[in-house]
Amino acid sequence: MSAFSWPARVYWEDTDGGGIVYYANYLRFLERARTEWLRAHGHSQRDLARETGILFTVVSLRIDYRAPARLDDELQITCEPEAEGAASLRFQQRIYRAGPALAHSHNLLVEANVRVACLDARTLRPKRLPEFLLEALATEGVAHG
């Protein structure tokens, strides 16, 4: 299985005074990539809340910072989702500095493990993952845990 990949660029608003990405802003890049993964499967967060009554929320996160991203860097953010139980997904995510000159291992900036729960939009209680999502995971060759 190949990971879903989403491109981004580092803007001034993402950085600290020295032009280096502020550590908390990496979470925004990770969130956007997960949202774009979902969108690539034909679903938006807003439509899911309105039409199917489900929301997704981060319930745990482990992140390792390997190297800094800087102003104007082009990034590639990857997502490798896996069902975990009946109502949650675990995403292995990485952020790389894009560029043809170096191998990916030399461009690795961030590694993260993000657990996301599926919730009922009204009650905010856990809700089973929808069938379309399980089918998307199966299509990508992802194991159901």
Cα separation, 44 vs 29, whole angstroms: 17
Neighbouring CB atoms inside 10 A of 51's CB total 10
Buried b (16+ CB within 10 A) or exposed e, 56-92: beeeeeeeeeeebbeeebebbbbbbbbbbeebbbbbe
Cα separation, 80 vs 94, whole angstroms: 9
Q: What type of residue is 121?
A: A
Are the beta carbons of 6 and 61 closer than 8 angstroms? no
**Of residues 16, 47, 64, 72, which has the active-site annotation?**
16
Are the beta carbons of 92 and 80 closer than 8 angstroms? yes
Per the annotation, the verdict on 16 as an active-site residue is yes
Q: What are the catalytic residues?
A: 16
